[in-house]
Amino acid sequence: MVDEVENRNDTASVSIIREVYDSANAHEAFEYELERALEAEYNLIVIEPSKLGDETSRWITVGNCLHKTASLSGLTAIVTGLVWGEQPYICGTFGITAVITCGLYTVSWQFDPCCQYQVETDTSKLPHVELLAVLGPSSPTFLVRKDDRRRRILHGTITITAFGICAWRFYQAFK
């Protein structure tokens, strides 16, 4: 069951995926409801089924890890390429790591509607704290929608810059 709560403005909406086992394939129904909520772009999605919440949380963590790995290894490649220009292998290792993780993120994660959400563990930061009283004693997973456009542009720019510096350093070393 999905409860949809919408305020007067369309930018503040909540979807609650209730843990109601009314059929043999309840888990598939929960997954379908989550997909619908993600595609509807709710600002807050509350997932009561713990198994689905854990799976979703892990998937978001994998995407965050790919993003951070691409960004940090790209920045490291840029810095090492500028500082240690005579040793292109150090820069190249980090540059290749940035390109591979950025590619993995782009292929497997960027177009997933889950990439627009972050897991919120601090309930005081939730936009609709009054919903906690409705949820009761369960410990649901909270997904908060975040605009990740700047983050994707940043990590793409870092990766392209890192690749360019690494290619330039390799060209200089082997010309």
Alpha helices for 1-83 (secondary structure H): 26-39, 50-83
Question: Which tokens belong to 34?
Answer: 């989550």
* Domains held by the chain: number: 1
Question: Which tokens belong to 146?
Answer: 């975040």
Cβ–Cβ < 8 Å for 71, 150: no
Tell me the pTM: 0.81
Residue 79, domain extent: 2-174
SS3 7: coil
Each residue's pLDDT, cut to its tens digit, for the chain (175 residues) gives 445 544 434 445 888 888 887 777 888 888 899 999 999 999 999 998 889 999 999 999 999 999 999 999 999 999 999 998 788 899 999 999 999 999 999 998 878 888 889 998 887 777 665 666 566 556 888 999 998 889 889 989 999 999 999 999 999 988 8
